[in-house]
Amino acid sequence: MKQASFKRFTIFFDQYLFISITLLSVMGLFFLYSASQGNINIVMKQAIFVGFGIFLMFILSQPDPDIYKILSLIFLVTSLLLVLITILFAKEINGAKRWLDLGVFTLQPSELVKIALPIYLASYLFEKPIPIDIRNTFKSLLIIGICFFLIARQPDLGTSLVVSMAGIYILFFAGLSWKFIGSSVLVFLISLPFLWNNFLQPFQQQRILTSLDPSADPFGSGWNITQSKIAIGSGGISGKGFEAGSQSHLDFLPETETDFIFAVIAEEFGFIGVCILLSVYMFILLRCMYLAFNARDRFCRLTIGGLSLVFASTLFINLAMVTGLIPVVGMPLPFISKGGSSLLSFYIAFGIIISMASHKKLMQR
């Protein structure tokens, strides 16, 4: 944490997070160059997002966190309205309405909800008794439920699950009783067959079955995961070398620029490359834990905890999906996958985290 004082104003800054995120972003541009088979247009566009994102992160780390507490409700309501507009008016792409065309840039509002919801819940619980009581638990769950169903309507099951997880993390940190957690899990498990039959689309069921046994249908729905495992496995210890991955460069691997970019990295840089990449992510997460422990108040604590876990969840869902541990769900590799909204949402999240980490209050409430 730095509060570098210049003559007239102070810059709020966390060099550890700032450097590691910038490092990831720049590495990401190189990976993307290879994953897009040297498509300089894609890389330039991404570079603009990265530059803008880092700038945004810097700007958002300047104001006092209390502003976010005040603005959190407006932020959440605005995001949800955008989701609603998307559902009502947006053009359908691949059977889903997720994107708002803003001319220069297509926005995916659900990505914003992923950040707005934990911030709002943290501010909502700021003055409530802790551990959280039953009344507030249900109020919070209602808000989470609204977000979940709106996004699930798009339909976007992956994002809606991450959004609800983001909310539940906050409740968990606020001391959600174990009894409640235990009985919820029980109810969930019992209703699982019901959910399977009534809630999941056939293609979603198929994806889940495929992840359990991709070899059952290697050229159909198992194709992606089979090819991804071949890409990762054939990378070996030291990888095939930059731009030398045959799986990605000969089009065997799907979605190389977005969801499956990790497979490209693993193929070209091997186990060593994977370990280096993961250690940067681990560093960011451990730094967040440290910051959460030392946060100045409950709002900051809950927000840092919640946002960092949204980041961690996205990361692990992507990694587990690419290595075939869980079904294929559209989930990017943070700071590396091509894509505007999710990328920007993480810069926003870390801008807010840095703001909370670097503004100290002498007088604590």
Partner 1 sequence: MIGIEDRFIEKRIFKSRLILIYIFFGILFSAFIYRTYNLQVYSYSSYELASIKNKTRSLLVQPKRGIIYDRNGNILINNVPSYDLIIQPAQIENISNYLDRLNEVILIDDGEREYVLERFENRSIYNRELAVKRSLSNEEIARFEVRGYLFPEAIIDKRYRRESEYPHLFSHVLGFVGGADNENMSDILNTQGKALGETLFTYANGYLIGKTGIENTYDDSLRGFFGERIFEVDAKGKLLKEIDFIEPKDGFDTFTSLDLEAQKVAFEAMAGRKGAVVVVEIETGAIITYLSSPTFSINQISNGISSANFEKLISDKDKPFFDRVSQGRYSPASAIKPAIGLYGLENKIINWDYTIDDPGFFVLPEDQRIYRGWKKGGHGTINLESALIESSNTFFFSLAYQSEINDLIDHLSNFGFGKNICADCFNPGKGLLPSPQWKMNNLNFGWFKGDSVNLGVGQGYLSATPAQLAFYSAFIGNKGSLEKLSLINNSIDKDILVLQASNITNEDWDRIHKSMIGVIENPKGTAKRLKNLKSYNIAAKSGTVELVSLDSKEDYEIVREDILKRDHGIMIAFAPMPNPKYAISVVIENAESGGSVAGPVAVKVLNSLIKE
Instruction: List residues near partner 1 by CB under 8 A.
Output: 129-131, 169, 172-173, 175, 227, 229-237, 246-247, 250-252, 266, 270-271, 274-275, 278, 282, 285, 289, 292-293, 298, 301-302, 305, 309, 312, 316, 319-320, 323, 325, 365
Q: How far is the CB of 262 from partner 1 (least distance, A)?
A: 9
Q: How far is the CB of 157 from partner 1 (least distance, A)?
A: 20
Please say which residue, 259 or 344, places its beta carbon nearer to partner 1: 259
Please give the structure tokens belonging to residue 150.
């709106």
Phi, psi of 176, rounded to the nearest 5 degrees: -50, 130
Cα 342 to Cα 305: distance, rounded to the nearest angstrom: 19
- Of 169, 149, 168, the C-alpha closest to 159 is 149
Would you mind telling me the total number of residues written for the chain in this entry?
365
Q: How far is the CB of 240 from partner 1 (least distance, A)?
A: 9
Please say which residue, 52 or 180, places its beta carbon nearer to partner 1: 180
Using a 10 angstrom Cβ sphere, with 0-12 exposed, 13-18 middle and 19 or more buried, the burial of residue 134 is: exposed
Q: How far is the CB of 337 from partner 1 (least distance, A)?
A: 17
Please say which residue, 80 or 322, places its beta carbon nearer to partner 1: 322
Q: How far is the CB of 114 from partner 1 (least distance, A)?
A: 17
Q: How far is the CB of 319 from partner 1 (least distance, A)?
A: 5
Cα 290 to Cα 280: distance, rounded to the nearest angstrom: 15
- Give the SS3 label for residue 12: strand
Contacts of 321 (CB under 8 A, 6+ apart): 259, 327, 328, 329, 331
Please say which residue, 48 or 275, places its beta carbon nearer to partner 1: 275
Please say which residue, 48 or 278, places its beta carbon nearer to partner 1: 278
Centroid of chain to Cα 53: 15
Cα 318 to Cα 260: distance, rounded to the nearest angstrom: 8
E strand intervals along the chain: 2-5, 10-13, 100-101, 106-107
Please say which residue, 44 or 244, places its beta carbon nearer to partner 1: 244
